[in-house]
Structure 1
Amino acid sequence: MLVREAMTRPAVTVRPGTPARSALRLLRDHAVTALPVVDDEDRLVGVVSEMDLLRGEFEPDPRASVRPAEARTGPPPRTVGAVMTRKVLTTGPNSDVAGLAEMMLRTRVKSVPVLDGHRVVGVISRSDLVALQVRDDERIRADVRTELAAYLTGSGWKVRVHDGEVTVDGDLGTADRRVVEILARTVPGVVRVTVPAAPGAPEESG
């Protein structure tokens, strides 16, 4: 599956000069954990996360300790540019979701901006990946059948799905099986595709 088939679009972005409180409201309103930060020419210059924006926002409550709370040494950050991360991991719309998922787990990054050239066209997050894995098998089956219907004619094939694993049975040659596997893999939620050869069917050369 490609990133463009799993990402959230359009991306909600902010500017370095966006007030921190405004960015926090955007996170809440759009149910995301991070926002790409773009300059006046819409080029990506950083990412700001919920933890970045919450830093320094809360004063210690004197009721929580018998000791006097330490006074804050300075005001909390007022703009996104003061707290954003400038070194940003990005991906492209035609990248493989499998490789990106492994990288996100390895680096513990929660969301990654998707760039087409220098333009932010979407964001892919851990929640997007989770949503793919919990899609209902019947919805996956229906979507796979829709994808294959334009390619496979007749009624001599059927689709089975269990926990995101797709099996397509039918009287299919080697070339057809390869195409069917590619088409089925484009459906969100598919984790594996099996297209067994028909019993007694000869393998095609080439």
Structure 2
Amino acid sequence: MAGQVAMLVREVMSSPVVTVGRTDPVRRAVRVLYGHAITAAPVVDDSGRLVGVVSELDLLRGEFEPDPRATATPATASAEPPPRLVLEVMTHEVVTVTETTDVTTAIEFMVGRRVKSLPVVRGGQLVGMVSRRDLMAVLARPDDELRAAVVAALAEQYPSGPGWTVAVRDGVAELGGPPREPADHIAGLLARTVPGIVRVRHVRAQPGP
């Protein structure tokens, strides 16, 4: 059975970040999220400091009113005007992660807070966003793409190392060739850095008769 993916947020996050301003009109924020096909965006103030997050549901709230055609009961007008600015609908308490946060911790935050994405910060500065879609994209990478990435990682990071045959099956990288230590250990570590690789096996050729 294949193992589980072990990785850090920096290996899966999206960057640069699409943001909206706290004083942006709601309709502008709607167009930003819709145009970039994202479900939420960080909200920044005039200095670029993270002050909140706004989601699709936040922005939809108050933008529609009851249609009288849907019911025989006359619709009553809302007592309050619909929200007009992002700061009126955004979530102010924001859970953030860093580039070195374990992905499993980020998932726990998403589940616990029932959010689809989290801002990634470095020293207080916004550097990325990690979303459930980012995580799904890693798991959805086909084996041939993963194999090419493993081959490229070995060639780039360990050009002086001995050659290995590389195969990937269901996210498990198989490095073939005779035993070579410590080269095999280094190659295994490099292969594990490829997002989507769940485990590394060293496959040894069977000795002849």
Quick check: 1:128 aligned with 2:131? no
Give the drift of 1:6: 1.2
Secondary structure (helix, strand or coil) at the match of 1:195 reads strand
Which residue in 2 is equivalent to 1:39?
Answer: 45
Quick check: 1:13 aligned with 2:19? yes
Which residue in 2 is equivalent to 1:160?
Answer: 167
Secondary structure (helix, strand or coil) at the match of 1:104 reads helix
Moved more, 92-101 or 108-117: 92-101
In structure 1, list runs of 5 or more residues that go unmatched: 201-206
Structure 2: distance between partners of 1:174 and 1:69: 76
Q: Is the 8 A contact 1:6 1:128 kept in 2?
A: yes
Which residue in 2 is equivalent to 1:89?
Answer: 95
Which residue in 1 is equivalent to 2:3?
Answer: none
Q: Is the 8 A contact 2:174 2:203 kept in 1?
A: no
Which residue in 2 is equivalent to 1:30?
Answer: 36
Corresponding pairs, count: 198
Structure 1: distance between partners of 2:142 and 2:28: 36
Kindly tell me: are residues 142 and 178 of structure 1, through their superposed partners in 2, closer, same or farther at Cα, counting changes over 3 Å?
same
Quick check: 1:111 aligned with 2:117? yes
In structure 2, list runs of 5 or more residues that go unmatched: 1-6
Deviations for 1:39-60, whole angstroms, at most 9, x for unmatched residues?
A: 2222111100010010011010
Give the drift of 1:169: 2.6
Q: Is the 8 A contact 2:146 2:196 kept in 1?
A: yes
Structure 1: distance between partners of 2:147 and 2:195: 11
Which residue in 2 is equivalent to 1:3?
Answer: 9
Q: Is the 8 A contact 1:174 1:197 kept in 2?
A: no
Quick check: 1:50 aligned with 2:56? yes
Structure 1: distance between partners of 2:205 and 2:65: 71
TM-score (ref. length: structure 1): 0.87
Secondary structure (helix, strand or coil) at the match of 2:182 reads helix
TM-score (ref. length: structure 2): 0.86
Moved over 4 A (4+): 197-200
Which residue in 1 is equivalent to 2:193?
Answer: 186
Secondary structure (helix, strand or coil) at the match of 1:171 reads coil
Secondary structure (helix, strand or coil) at the match of 1:120 reads strand
Secondary structure (helix, strand or coil) at the match of 2:19 reads coil
Give the drift of 1:107: 3.3
Q: Is the 8 A contact 1:148 1:184 kept in 2?
A: yes
Quick check: 1:63 aligned with 2:63? no
Q: Is the 8 A contact 1:169 1:196 kept in 2?
A: yes
Kindly tell me: are residues 179 and 96 of structure 1, through their superposed partners in 2, closer, same or farther at Cα, counting changes over 3 Å?
farther
Give the drift of 1:126: 0.8
**CA-based RMSD:** 2.0
Q: Is the 8 A contact 1:34 1:50 kept in 2?
A: yes
Kindly tell me: are residues 142 and 199 of structure 1, through their superposed partners in 2, closer, same or farther at Cα, counting changes over 3 Å?
closer
Give the drift of 1:70: 2.5
Give the drift of 1:196: 3.2
Q: Is the 8 A contact 2:172 2:201 kept in 1?
A: no
Give the drift of 1:82: 0.5
